[in-house]
Amino acid sequence: MQNFAGTLSIQGSTSALIEQNAILLLAGFPDVNQAKNAATNFIQNVKGIASGAAVVVTGDASVVGTQPVIVMTDIH
């Protein structure tokens, strides 16, 4: 598990960490699309973090197809 610091970007149901060029997925959701939606939902509604905020994401970096992702377990 690593920490990734960066700027949060939220567009629609997709959240990304700009510096890592990685889409954020919520851990525990094997389906990529559901994990992506869940991550955005978690960030916005549970954590109350808005797009553009400087955040630290806890999780694992991975790749889905050719797209870098971070499977996150927490965000601050």
Partner 1 sequence: MKHFKHALMVSALVTALGCHHEIPIHQLAGTPNWQPDASHAAELSNEEHNGNGIEVSAPKIYDDASLRMMLDATRAKLATMSGLDQGSLISSLGNVTGATINQTQLGFQVLGPTPPATSTTNTGATNSVTTNGSLPAGNTSVPGTVTVTTSPTESTVTTSPSAPTVPAVSPGIAFTPPSSVAPSSLDILNEQMQLSYEMTNLQLLLEGALSDRFVTNQRLIKPRVTLGFPISLRAPAEFKDAVAVVEVEVTTAHHNYGNVAVPEPPSITALLPQEKTYNVAAMTDHMTSVGAGALIGTVGVTGSFLAGHKTFYLVQDQDTVAMQRPASRDPNAASFTWEFRPVLGQHYVRGGMKQTFVQLAFPVDENFDCYGTVRLRTYWRRFDQKNGIDKEVIPESVLVSARTFSLPRFDLAPEVSGVDFTDLGDGTLMVHVKGRYLAGTYVQVGPVRYDSGKTLVVEDTGLKFTVPVAALAIWKGHIVARSGESTEILQPSVQTPLRALNQDACVGVPAPILPADGAVPMPLTSIEHEVTIQPLSESDSVVHVEVVTSMSSAARSKLLLLIGNKVFGLRDAPIQRELTPTGVVISATVPTSLLIASPSLRVFIPFWSDVEKPDDQSFQASYPLTGRFGPDSAVEHLVLVSIDSTGNGAYLLYGNDLAGARILVPDSGATLDAVDSIAQDRIRLVKITKAALQTTKKLILQKASEQRPLLLDIPDAKAVAPKVTVDSPVIVNTNELTVSAEQAADITAVMLGDKKLQWKFVDKGTIRLLNLKADGVTNEQKTRELAVQYKNGVKATVTFEVVAARIGVK
Site residues (vs partner 1, CB under 8 A): 13, 25-35, 37-42, 45-48, 59-60, 62, 64-65, 71-74
Closest Cα to residue 55, out of 74, 27, 33, 28? 74
With beta carbons less than 8 A apart as the criterion, state whether 43 and 15 touch.
yes
Please say which residue, 7 or 32, places its beta carbon nearer to partner 1: 32
Please say which residue, 39 or 55, places its beta carbon nearer to partner 1: 39
Longest CA span, the chain = 30
Please say which residue, 3 or 41, places its beta carbon nearer to partner 1: 41
With beta carbons less than 8 A apart as the criterion, state whether 2 and 61 touch.
yes
CB of 45 to partner 1, least distance (A): 6
